[in-house]
Amino acid sequence: MMLKILLPAEVMLKQEVKKIIAEAENGSFCLMPNHIDFVATLAPGIFTYEPVSGGQELLAMDVGTLVKKGSDVLVSTRNAVRAPDLGKLKEVVVQQYDVLDEREKMVRSASARLEASMIRRFVELK
C-alpha cells in the first residue's frame, strides 16, 4: 500500500507500507493490502505503520480523515509528529503542546488588547 500523510502545508510522508493501525472515533482498526476500500474519521491518537522494509513507525496524530482506495491510503490531518519510539513520541508531543499553548496565550492577549482598544474608541465617539 502507498501511504501518503498530508498536513495543511506539506506532504509529511509518502511511503510504501504493509500494515497500518489507526484510531477512529469508534475504536482502533488495522488495514492490510487486500482490505476493501475504506473511509474513516480519525481520532487524536497513535498512528502506527509498518514499512515494506520492516520495522514499525509511530506517529502522534491530531483529528483527520483516512481514505483507502485500491492500494493507496491517503491520510489528511491538521498535525502529526513522528518519533522512533513511544517514549520519545510523548516528549515531542508534550513539547509541541507547550509551544501551541504559548502561541494561544499570545493570541488571546493580542485579541483582548484589540477588543479593549475598540471599546475605548467607541466610548470616545459617544
The domain segmentation of the chain, as residue ranges, is 2-83, 84-126
Q: 55-60 — which CB contacts under 8 Å span 24+ positions?
A: 57/82, 58/82, 58/83, 58/84, 58/85, 58/86, 58/89, 59/5, 59/89, 60/89, 60/92, 60/93
Instruction: Examine the pLDDT at 1 and tell me if it is beyond 80.
Output: yes
Q: pTM for this structure?
A: 0.71
Higher pLDDT: 40 or 82? It is: 40
Query: What pLDDT is recorded for position 105?
Result: 72
Instruction: Examine the pLDDT at 126 and tell me if it is beyond 80.
Output: no
What are the cell numbers at 71?
Answer: 492500494
Query: What pLDDT is recorded for position 93?
Result: 65
Query: What pLDDT is recorded for position 31?
Result: 94
Query: What pLDDT is recorded for position 5?
Result: 96
Higher pLDDT: 57 or 98? It is: 57
Which residue is it, cell 518519533? Answer: 83
CATH 2.60.15.10 fits 2-83, yes or no: yes
| Letter string b/e over residues 25-49, b meaning 16 or more CB atoms within 10 A of that residue's CB | eeeeeebeeeeeeeebebbeeebbb
Q: What's the pLDDT tens digit per position in 113-124?
A: 888 888 888 888
